């Protein structure tokens, strides 16, 4: 089955990805990003959703809901403002969840 790749974030951050042929979903507010995320996840047309960290910081609960699902994979990418370290922190959290302590 063929899937799409979505990029969700503020307008400036997602602009470049359009040139690559990815589906871009610019969102001006966190609310908008949240509804778009849920819509994309429900449609299951996107296997991978790249989400900018600045929005992800305020959507933790929404992202956690899809963490254990096979589709979609929500991957955080740094937005225009630079990396906020949330993506790295999430890896740390996954290790803590599996092992019980951060051993790396």
Partner 1 sequence: MAGTVVNPTRMELTRLKNKLKTAQRGHKLLKDKRDELMKQFLDTVREVRTLRAQVEAELMRVHGSFTVASALMSGPALESALLCPKQGVDLDMTFQNVMSVNVPVYHYHTRSQSEGDIFPYGFAATSGELDDAVEALGQVFQNMLQLAQIEKTAQLLAEEIEKTRRRVNALEYVMIPQMQESIKYITMKLDENERSNTIRLMKVKDMLLQEALEEQRQRDAQALEAFRARTEQV
Question: Of 29-37, 54-62, 74-82, which segment contacts partner 1 by CB under 8 A?
Answer: 74-82
- Is 73 a binding residue for partner 1 by CB under 8 A? The answer is yes
- Is 61 a binding residue for partner 1 by CB under 8 A? The answer is no
Question: Of 30-38, 54-62, 65-73, which segment contacts partner 1 by CB under 8 A?
Answer: 65-73
Which residue in 8, 13, 33, 54 binds partner 1 (CB under 8 A)? 13
Q: Answer whether 40's CB lies under 8 Å from 14's CB.
A: no
Q: Answer whether 58's CB lies under 8 Å from 41's CB.
A: no
Cβ-Cβ contacts under 8 Å for 37 (sequence gap 6 or more) = 8, 49, 51, 59, 62, 63, 74
10, 41, 82 from 27: Cα distances, Å: 5, 16, 18
Binding site for partner 1 (CB under 8 A): 1-5, 12-13, 15-22, 47-48, 50, 67-68, 70-71, 73, 75, 77-80, 82-83, 87-88, 91, 94-95, 97-100, 104
């Amino acid at each position: 089955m063929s899937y799409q790749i979505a990029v969700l974030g503020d307008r400036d951050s997602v602009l470049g990805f359009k040139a690559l042929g990815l589906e871009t979903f610019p969102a001006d507010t966190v609310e908008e990003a949240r509804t778009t995320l849920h819509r994309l996840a429900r449609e299951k047309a996107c296997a991978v959703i790249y989400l900018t960290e600045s929005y992800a910081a305020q959507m933790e609960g929404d992202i956690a809901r899809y963490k254990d699902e096979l589709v979609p994979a929500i991957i955080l990418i740094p937005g225009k403002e630079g990396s906020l370290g949330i993506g790295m922190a999430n890896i740390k959290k996954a290790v803590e969840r599996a092992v019980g302590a951060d051993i790396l």
